[in-house]
Structure 1
Amino acid sequence: MPSLSDWRAGAQAITAAHGARFADFPAQPAPAPTSDDPVYRAALAACSQLGFIGIDAECLAQAWMRQSQRLGAFDATLWPCNPQDFGVQARAERAGFPACPQRLGLYAVLPDAAWVGRMARAGVPTVQLRFKHEDPAAIAREVRAAVAAVQGTQALLFINDHWRDAMAAGAYGVHLGQEDLDALAPEELAQLRASGLRLGVSTHGYAEMLRADAVAPSYIALGAVFPTTLKKMATVPQGVARLGGYVQLMQGYPLVAIGGIGAAQFPEILATGVGSIAVVRALVQAPHPEQAAAALLQHMQG
């Protein structure tokens, strides 16, 4: 492979080629390099300058190095998006979680079972119960009520966080954040996989996508795309440019875009190729939620 003689020149070439796409992101401190490979060093510095946090800059730098090795040349214009350069494996070749539809469509994240039933009857194809409560008995009751609320509809019901209650109640699936996923002991993860529940996992960048891929979930959520006031986020909004790269990389999974998305943003989100858009405020804060659901369903159809 032709060598990159000056990694600093390579870093400048990468930032020049991609700076416009990521102009909204402030530069981040570059992490300590773990390799002396000049392509790796160039990409690590450039991706940090383009606003990627350390763990994501490291993922990109490793992928850029592998991409250059695979292609036999360094190309500053070619943003890494090939799964093999990141170590992402085909789901079909692994014993992962059960499959769900590749395009989950409009995905409503809802605060209680009454809302779940209301949006399921309005024709929303995928619903999630995100019930926040400290009382385990109240949580179990609400999960059972949500499962009952979707009976007689076509809606697929995911339960946020409470996977044991989801198993007991017979929900379609469960959705876990990164911290919840990391907190599972190996035997708990095996129990969850054996239950037949579908698993969705939240991600907020390259490192978290690779962490999710390691367990081969049923779908991967990508966000937060835009600013949201509903949940305190540890990462900045990812934006549509980053979302597009994530969709290219993880296209073997059903993908859900989430975070601050309203009807006006649907066209640019769908243009990335993502098969589902999750909404919260666009439904639960709408003056007429059923009408809002009908309008969003129309937007999903393009």
Structure 2
Amino acid sequence: MTLPRFYPIFDTADWLPRALPLGVKLVQIRAKDRTPEDLRLELTRARDLCAAAGAQLVVNDYWREAIDLGCDYVHLGQEDLDEADLPAIRRAGIRVGISTHDHAELDRALSFAPDYIALGPVWPTILKKMKWEQQGLDRVSEWKRLIGDIPLIAIGGMTPERGAQAFAAGADVVSVVTDITLNADPEARIRDWLAVCATAKAPA
């Protein structure tokens, strides 16, 4: 399965009218601290915007809502795997991505036959505190060797320059959050990212 190589993550669908017209084809909505009604409205809007742009929507965590709304992907963290109904997600035709940080988590993730594996943080990130400070490019290469044809997504501390290094190390896709959302010119930064992703060599 081939995924678009650029994978931005946003906390609101308000970003999508800015990103999708530039050519973004894979996007995650990581909505936090919403009422059930607001969450459903947010994800419905994101789903419809992505569908109109020919883009794929990844819903972070909220697998029930993703099933109800017929979204493309669900992204699950390790803690989400304790409660998520993977058979129900699969029956709904929704693809699954799973976060990993160490070998035990990778083994667990692979047992669910995911549609992609995410590894992070490759570089230190300001997005959230976690016990894994920096995985590094060697870990990217190792993960790719271990998972084979499953797409590998690198995340954490990314810039376009670092993204190119992650691709060279074996990542199939690079995921970006604050490098866009905290940038003074997010649209220009997205264009930079799309250019890097268009010229990066595919993993061997």
Q: TM-score, normalised by structure 2?
A: 0.92
In the other structure, the counterpart of 2:189 is 292
Structure 1 portions without partners, runs of 5+: 1-100
If asked which structure has higher relative contact order (CA below 8 Å, sep 6+), I would say: 2
CA–CA distance in 2 between the matches of 1:253 and 1:144? 28
> How far 1:168 moved relative to its partner?
1.3
Aligned residues: 199
1:244 aligns with 2:144: no
Indicate conservation of the 8 Å contact 2:70/2:92, yes or no: no
1:170 aligns with 2:85: no
Q: TM-score, normalised by structure 1?
A: 0.63
Q: Which amino acid aligns with 2:88?
A: Q
Structure 2 portions without partners, runs of 5+: none
1:150 aligned counterpart, secondary structure: helix
Of 81, 87, 92 in structure 2, the residue corresponding to residue 190 of structure 1 is: 87
- In the TM superposition, structure 1's runs of 4+ consecutive aligned residues that sit over 4 Å from their partners are none
1:123 aligns with 2:23: yes
> How far 1:274 moved relative to its partner?
1.2
1:230 aligns with 2:127: yes
Q: Which amino acid aligns with 1:241?
A: D
In the other structure, the counterpart of 1:263 is 160
Indicate conservation of the 8 Å contact 1:104/1:276, yes or no: yes
CA–CA distance in 1 between the matches of 2:3 and 2:145? 15
Cα pair distance change 1:183/1:234, threshold 3 Å: farther
Of 6, 9, 13 in structure 2, the residue corresponding to residue 113 of structure 1 is: 13
Q: Which amino acid aligns with 2:190?
A: A
Question: Larger radius of gyration, structure 1 or 2?
Answer: 1
1:207 aligns with 2:104: yes
**RMSD over equivalenced CA pairs, Å:** 1.3
CA–CA distance in 2 between the matches of 1:284 and 1:117? 14
> How far 1:239 moved relative to its partner?
0.9
Q: Percent sequence identity over matched residues?
A: 37
